[in-house]
Amino acid sequence: MIPGVSVEGLSKSFPGTRTPVLDNVNLTVEAGTCTALLGPSGAGKSTLLRAISGLETPDVGRVLVGGQDMAEVLPERRGMAMVQQRPLLFPHLNVLDNIAFAGTVRGVPKKAARADAAAFLELVQLEGFGRRPVTALSGGQAQRVAIARALAARPAVLLLDEPFSALDPELRAAMHELLAQLRRSVNPTVLLVTHDRSEAAAVAEKIALFSGGRMLQHDSVERMYSRPATLETSRLMGGANEIPGIVRDGYHHSVLGVLQLPGDTRQPPGPGVLLVRQESIEVGARNGIGILATVTGLRTLGPRRQISLDVAGALMLAEVPWGRALAPGDAVALSIPTSVLAVVAAPETARTFPDVGEEPQITGQGRNALASIEN
Amino acid sequence: MALTLPPEFSTPLSWPDQPGNGLRTSQGITRVLRIMLALALALWFLLPLVPLVLWAFADRWSFPAVLPQAWGWEGARAALAQGAIPAFGHSLLLGLLVSAIATPLGVLAARALAYHRVLFAPAVNVMLFAPLALPAFVAALGLNVLLLRLHVPPFAGVVLLLTVYALPYTSYVMRVAYGAHDLAVEEEARLLGASPWQVMWRVQLPLLAPALARAAFLAFLVGWSDYVITVLVGGGTIVTVPLLVAGAAAGTGNDATVALLSAAALLPPLVLLLGVGLLGRRPSGKPTAKSMNGNLP
């Protein structure tokens, strides 16, 4: 029976730091699912993982596994295993004995533990590596051994602390596939710490977004992108377009015009910032139907292009595939589906992080247009 | 389902001590110089032993003869008669006791300094090193009176003082070892189900074994080779090898005995050094030819 993991009101401070590393975190991860703890460095994600594992004692709050409070349970008895950014293999044991470690400390006879370990070695596609010293492994191999070692402990909860961030993109993609495969065969509850949005989206069903020790939002991957609850969430999820305006009768009024909002919009009538993912904007020819805009700049993003747009004074970004010839100054029409729109509270009420200017980018012309809407 | 992960067999693997590793090979003049330096160093260590060995078995060797004129066991007989065997026993016991006490103490001090918040840590560091700065002669003379007044038996007094003198070495060696020791590996072991005791026995101890062996060896040497403290605090009741050698050397006509005792005194540390060298290799962390070739498909 695979248990779920809950964190209730968890706070943690370290001596010498002014702000808490974790500030009243509440999070529930359902049994057998994978949640990515996403956020910038220093957001408290790793500390949360360590608190869940028992390596760190929370100042306040509880960690529950399968409904049971873990406060009095030692780390080795929590039924968890962790894989970190460094493989942290035992240098004095060979590959097979590393994987058999969990078995042997539980009193499984060495021979049986090794046979079991060999099966896990096979699972991570490293058959025949058992007798190698761990110093003879490449980074990717060592990380796979670390995963096999963690799985051999039969953890009900698998904690992954940026386990793939040191690997090259190709190997990382292979490891994501491996993780998906392992989840199908072993099915533990997984918590994955990462600062990579695309990794979180590729591996997990849900994302819990952290910033400055607070959990901002915990939602499905799709909703994290399409329905951010605050401006801060939107920015941390990489959202670039913020259009201030007014919400009235299910419509958003702004320099973009009057746009119908999706049915699940919860923003009350009044001022609200319209959020549009740059990937969701379709850029078409001027003669087509849509919001009129002018291209102000182009930037290459590998397989895609980022286009800066001036939409009636509001500055917007759109990501489009290569193909259409576009140049600064071109007049284009934007098409934005209703389902990709989201509205959040205006910046003065939203909690934003300090590095970013609170005011959405808008030109003088746009500001005048906006003023006319508000009146 | 089928999944293809890069097998990475193309990556050539070699260790610095394996043939073919580019890091350790020197070429041309560097190579010649390296070999010559090695030979000079070997000569430097071995040359003083040659007359020692010759003297040990020379019953008569007078100037200007190049080699002894008469070979025999006179030196050995005299050494045995003067109590060489008990002296070796005392030295061995002293070395082992000092090592057995100073090594764990060094471990505790080093662990505290490395992992815990120690009040006045710099001062503690200086205190641990202080015995090195204080001449043994001064410490022995000063403390001897105290030890006598406290009715501490001479042998216990000698062990106590020598332990203090061994502590700088053991704490320093262990401090360096703990500095390089990764606590995250121990945490990993905990999460894999190991109790704190199991972590100590199965992870920490094997990883620190080389450093422990080095620390224990240095502490043994302090006990094995001491003269001043054994004489002053032992008050002549404990006759160790250095005392016997010094006594014989002070007399005349004892050249063979002195040479034999000195040469023999080299053996126990040499044996231990070899043992430390073997322990210094991490148990199965090092690749062997078998483990390398045996598993390649």
What are chain B's domains?
A: 95-280 (1.10.3720.10)
Q: Who among A53, A81, A133 is closest to B285 (CB)?
A: A133
Are B257 and B248 contacting, i.e. CB atoms less than 8 angstroms apart?
Answer: yes
Q: Residue B289: pLDDT band by 50, 70, 90 thresholds?
A: very low
pLDDT band at B25 (very low <50, low <70, confident <90, very high): low
pLDDT at position B276 is: 82
Q: Does the structure show a pLDDT above 70 at B8? A: no
**Is the Cβ–Cβ distance between B217 and B274 less than 8 Å?**
no
- Written as six digits, the tokens of B296 are 């390649």
Query: CB of B5 within 8 Å of any CB in chain A?
Result: yes
CA–CA gap between residue A259 and residue A245 (Å, rounded): 11
Res. B119 pLDDT band, cuts 50 70 90:
confident
pLDDT confidence band for A215 (50 / 70 / 90): very high
Q: What is the average per-residue pLDDT within A198-213? A: 93
CATH of domain A5-221: 3.40.50.300
Where helices occur in B12-153 by DSSP H, the ranges are 29-46, 49-56, 74-81, 84-115, 121-133, 136-149
Residue A95 carries which side chain, given as an amino acid letter?
A: V
Q: Is the ipTM of this complex over 0.95?
A: no
pLDDT of residue B90: 94
Digit-coded pLDDT (tens) for A116-172: 999 999 888 898 899 999 989 988 899 999 999 999 998 999 999 999 988 888 888
Inter-chain CB proximity A133 and B287 less than 8 Å? yes
Q: For residue range B160-181, list pLDDT tens digits in order.
A: 999 999 999 999 999 999 998 9
Instruction: Give the phi and the psi of residue A331 in degrees, each rounded to 5.
Output: -90, 130
Residue A65 clears pLDDT 90, i.e. is over it: yes
Tokens of B283: 């148990």
pLDDT classification of B215: cutoffs 50, 70, 90? very high
pLDDT at B148: 87
End-to-end CA distance of chain A: 60
Which residue do the tokens 């001064």 mark? B138
Q: Pairing relation of β-strands A68-69 and A80-83?
A: unpaired
- pLDDT, position A165: 87
* Mean pLDDT computed over every residue of chain B: 83
* Mutation target vs B (from A55, A85, A101, A178; most B CBs, 10 A cutoff): A101
Give the domain ranges of chain A.
5-221, 239-374
What's the whole-number mean pLDDT along residues B87-99? 95
User: In chain A, which residue's Cα lies nearest the Cα of B196?
Assistant: A76
Query: For residue B288, is pLDDT > 60?
Result: no
* Rg over CA atoms, chain B: 25
Give the number of other CB atoms < 10 A from CB of residue A112: 12
Tokens of B269: 């540390």
CB atoms A88 and B182 under 8 Å: yes
Whose structure tokens read 């049915």?
A263
Distance from CA of B14 to the nearest CA of A (A): 8
CA distances from B29 to B21, B32, B33 (A): 19, 5, 6
Q: What percent of chain B has pLDDT over 70?
A: 86
Strand order across the beta sheet in which A241-248 lies:
A257-260, A251-254, A241-248, A270-276, A341-344
Calculate how close chain A gets to B116, using CA atoms only, in Å. 14
Task: Write out pLDDT tens, residues A338-374.
Answer: 999 999 987 654 444 444 444 556 666 666 666 666 5
Lowest mean pLDDT among A44-58, A276-290, B100-114: A276-290
Query: Do A5-221 and A239-374 fold alike per CATH?
Result: no
B5/chain A closest Cα distance in angstroms: 6
Chain A residue closest in CA terms to B282: A92
Residue B24: pLDDT above 80? no
The CA distance from A84 to the nearest CA of chain B, in Å, is: 9
B284 interfaces chain A, CB cutoff of 8 Å: yes
Q: Which residue has the tokens 């962790």?
A: A82
Query: What sign does the dihedral B51-B54-B57-B62 (CA atoms) show?
Result: negative
Cα B112 from Cα B124, distance rounded (Å):
10
Query: Which one, of A236, A222, A339, lies nearest residue A280 by Cα?
Result: A339
Beta bridge partners of A248: A251
Type of residue found at A243: I
Distance from C-alpha of A159 to C-alpha of A142, rounded to nearest angstrom: 17
Q: What is the distance between the alpha carbons of residues B175 and B114, in angstroms, rounded to a whole number?
A: 7
What is residue B281's predicted lDDT score, i.e. its pLDDT?
61
| pLDDT computed for residue A368 by the predictor | 67
- Residue A92 is nearest to which of B188, B285, B295, comparing CB atoms? B285
Question: pLDDT grade, residue B44 (50/70/90)?
Answer: very high
Q: Do A91 and B282 touch (CB under 8 A)?
A: yes
Give the pLDDT confidence score for residue B293 in this predicted structure. Answer: 38
Per-residue pLDDT tens for B262-280? 888 888 888 888 888 887 6
Average pLDDT on B27-51 reads 90
Which of A15-19, A104-108, B166-170 is predicted least confidently? A15-19
* CB contact (8 A) between residue B282 and residue A92: yes
Note whether B144 and B233 are within 8 A (CB).
yes
Instruction: State the fold for domain A239-374.
Output: OB fold (Dihydrolipoamide Acetyltransferase, E2P) (2.40.50)
Among candidates A128, A131, A132 on the partner chain, residue whose Cβ is nearest the Cβ of B297: A128
Arithmetic mean of pLDDT, B134-143: 84
pLDDT at A51 over 80: yes
